[in-house]
Amino acid sequence: MSIRLRLTVWYAGLMALTLVLSSVILYLVLNQSMTIETDTFLESKARDMSFSLQSALRLPDLDRFAEGDVYAQLLMPDLTIVDESKSLGDLGEPLDPEAARLALAGTSSFNTVVIRDVRVRVYTTRITIRGNQVRILQVGRSFERFEHTLTWLQRALLIGDLALVALATAVGWWMAGSSLRPIVRITRTVQSIGESQRLDQRVEYEGPHDEIGELVHTFNRMLAQLEASISAQRRFVADASHELRTPLTTLRLNIDLLRRDRTAEPPERAEVLDDIASELDRLSRLVQGLLDLARADAGFHLEKQPVRADEIVLDVYHQVRPAADGVVINLGETFPITFYANPDYLKQLLLILLDNAIKYTDPGGQVRFTVERDGEWVKFQVSDTGRGIAPEDLPHIFERFYRSRGVRRQRGTGLGLAVARWIAEEHGGHIDVESVPGRGATFTVWLPAGEPRPPASLQSS
Ligand code: ATP
Ligand code: MG
């Protein structure tokens, strides 16, 4: 059963139940109040009659009290009829013999009896006339008039209730349908995404910001995020293949050259071999960068341990100094600083920054490399006096494969800073950059000095 049908059935069912209950109550209350009204009327009639009967010397005419739908009878204790109103039309028998016997014993009562197929309410009481003669007085009133009203009410309630239930069903069906429509749309969109594999579709919704509105909004937001991340992945794969193709083509050309021209002079061969070595170097850097980023994307987390920041800085310094290409590297003063980090990845991060500083600074320039504790942070800084970074490049240099226009002829993959940022973030830190074009750039890495969060036990490797 669909939700729509279920909601409608519940709605209409509850409506029907409420209507039936209230109609029954209304009917019963009306019936009861009519009976009470009749009883009061009959009692007061009986009082009037008994008063006249007791005080008169001759029996008064009962028709003075009873006419139309009101009846009266006066009985002897043996239930023979002394007198009865004309409205009874010669009934010839007591209105309610059972009640008459009870009245003789002193209990007055109200009863409903059927006389000539008409329901009649009868009040029976004992009276004493002329001092000591016991008589039974029965006063009755037919229900006929009320029954008309009640039958009419019954019909009106039945028809009204049926009409209301039909209306409730229609309104319920419409309401359930219109509030579930966005869900139908979501289903269609999901189906269509499944068939077409296109994530640029959205569910249209123009309605209040209720639960359904929230659902549509969340669903659309999720689609947008999926679309962005899948298109980033696609771009990444496309860029990566493109970047991999260039060194592979160069390698292929160089190797072909060597094979074809076996008689080439040694200096020429050495040049080609150098070229091959540098392409292989570039290729392995590229693959390493891709591997790091693929791990980052797969949710890989770094294992941390207590490390000496100053020792790592010294290590990295000794490693890059021989390849400084005429750039002077100044190491700041180092003090012992211990904190939680992954030593291999921390070295990789610092190497990426120093590599850039050396690469983008002309020979004779200077690079300053420092580490210090700054409050809650361990602060590594690499600043150079090189070409600097143009303001329009600054927001993009941490993106994968992004390289400034001016450096494209220099070796590089554009993955270095993307990896560096991931490593810093994995440590719970971040990287800042400042630069004056033509004057140099300063990269500052902030890593938390305290215990690592989340705890190392939660991290997978
Ligand atoms: P690789 O992945 O081989 O390191 P890359 O150096 O080009 O290649 P990133 O290290 O990610 O890539 O740097 C991105 C870009 O940021 C560089 O291409 C360069 O334009 C700019 N850049 C980074 N560091 C500096 C710096 N110290 N001075 C000037 N420009 C820089
Ligand atoms: Mg770099």
Residue nearest to atom 7 of ligand 1 (CA): 414
Mutate to test the pocket of ligand 1, among 325, 410, 413, 417 (most ligand atoms within 8 A of CB): 417
Torsion of CA 436, 437, 438, 439, to 10 degrees: 10
> From the CB of 292, is ligand 1 less than 6 Å away?
no
Q: Give the ligand with the smallest distance to the CA of 421.
A: 1
- Domain 3-149 architecture: 2-Layer Sandwich (3.30)
Torsion of CA 39, 44, 47, 51, to 10 degrees: -160
Dist. CA 439 → ligand 1 center (Å) = 16
Nearest residue to 447 (alpha-carbon basis) of 353, 342, 351, 300? 342
Neighbours of 443 (CB within 10 A): 25
Residue 282 CA: nearest ligand 1 atom is 3
Residue 293 near residue 419, CB atoms below 8 Å: yes
> From the CB of 381, is ligand 1 less than 6 Å away?
no
Q: Which residues of 362-381 are buried (b: 16+ CB within 10 A; e: fewer)?
A: eeebebbbbbbeeeebbbbb
Mutate to test the pocket of ligand 1, among 281, 327, 356, 404 (most ligand atoms within 8 A of CB): 356
Helix (H) or strand (E) holding 68: none
What percentage of the chain's residues is helix, strand, coil (to nearest 5)?
Answer: 55, 20, 25
> From the CB of 66, is ligand 1 less than 6 Å away?
no
Dist. CA 277 → ligand 2 center (Å) = 19
Dist. CA 404 → ligand 1 center (Å) = 7
> From the CB of 360, is ligand 1 less than 6 Å away?
yes
301-460 falls under which CATH superfamily? Histidine kinase-like ATPase, C-terminal domain (3.30.565.10)
What integer pLDDT is reported at residue 231 of this predicted model?
Answer: 87
What is the residue whose two structure tokens read 């993307």? 418
Alpha-carbon span 88 to 432, nearest angstrom: 112
Alpha-carbon span 167 to 181, nearest angstrom: 21
What integer pLDDT is reported at residue 129 of this predicted model?
Answer: 82
What pairs with residue 282 in β-bridges? none
Residue nearest to atom 24 of ligand 1 (CA): 356
Segments in the chain below pLDDT 50: 455-461
Dist. CA 412 → ligand 2 center (Å) = 6
Cα Rg, the chain, nearest whole Å: 52
Residue nearest to atom 15 of ligand 1 (CA): 403
Alpha-carbon span 87 to 89, nearest angstrom: 5
| Residue 412, both tokens | 């590089």
Alpha-carbon span 73 to 81, nearest angstrom: 7
> From the CB of 441, is ligand 1 less than 6 Å away?
yes
| Residue 123, both tokens | 């009040």
What pairs with residue 126 in β-bridges? 136
Residue 361 CA: nearest ligand 1 atom is 28
Alpha-carbon span 380 to 309, nearest angstrom: 9
Residue 398 CA: nearest ligand 1 atom is 11
> From the CB of 412, is ligand 1 less than 6 Å away?
yes
What integer pLDDT is reported at residue 452 of this predicted model?
Answer: 66
Nearest residue to 140 (alpha-carbon basis) of 259, 39, 15? 39
pLDDT tens digits, one per residue of 65-113: 777 889 999 999 999 998 888 888 877 888 899 999 999 998 999 999 9
Alpha-carbon span 412 to 286, nearest angstrom: 8
> From the CB of 422, is ligand 1 less than 6 Å away?
no
Residue nearest to atom 20 of ligand 1 (CA): 404
> From the CB of 276, is ligand 1 less than 6 Å away?
no
What is the residue whose two structure tokens read 């020792």? 311
Dihedral over Cα of 160, 166, 169, 173: its sign: negative
Per-domain residue ranges for the chain? 3-149, 227-296, 301-460
Dist. CA 100 → ligand 2 center (Å) = 118
Q: pTM of the prediction?
A: 0.61
- Domain 227-296 architecture: Orthogonal Bundle (1.10)
Alpha-carbon span 240 to 401, nearest angstrom: 8
Dist. CA 414 → ligand 1 center (Å) = 6
> From the CB of 243, is ligand 1 less than 6 Å away?
no
3-149 and 227-296: identical CATH topology: no
The CA-based diameter of the chain, rounded to the nearest angstrom, is: 165
> From the CB of 416, is ligand 1 less than 6 Å away?
yes
Alpha-carbon span 449 to 9, nearest angstrom: 64
Angle between helices 416-426 and 266-297 (to 10 degrees): 40
Mutate to test the pocket of ligand 1, among 367, 387, 403 (most ligand atoms within 8 A of CB): 403
What integer pLDDT is reported at residue 460 of this predicted model?
Answer: 45
Q: Tell me the C-alpha to C-alpha distance, in Å, between residue 122 and each of 14, 38, 69.
A: 41, 9, 12
Q: Tell me the C-alpha to C-alpha distance, in Å, between residue 280 and each of 243, 259, 266, 359.
A: 13, 18, 21, 19
Q: Give the ligand with the smallest distance to the CA of 415.
A: 1
| Residue 360, both tokens | 């983008």
Helix (H) or strand (E) holding 398: none
Alpha-carbon span 374 to 70, nearest angstrom: 108
What integer pLDDT is reported at residue 454 of this predicted model?
Answer: 54
Residue nearest to atom 18 of ligand 1 (CA): 403
> From the CB of 389, is ligand 1 less than 6 Å away?
yes
What integer pLDDT is reported at residue 59 of this predicted model?
Answer: 67
Dist. CA 358 → ligand 2 center (Å) = 10
Angle between helices 144-196 and 3-55 (to 10 degrees): 170
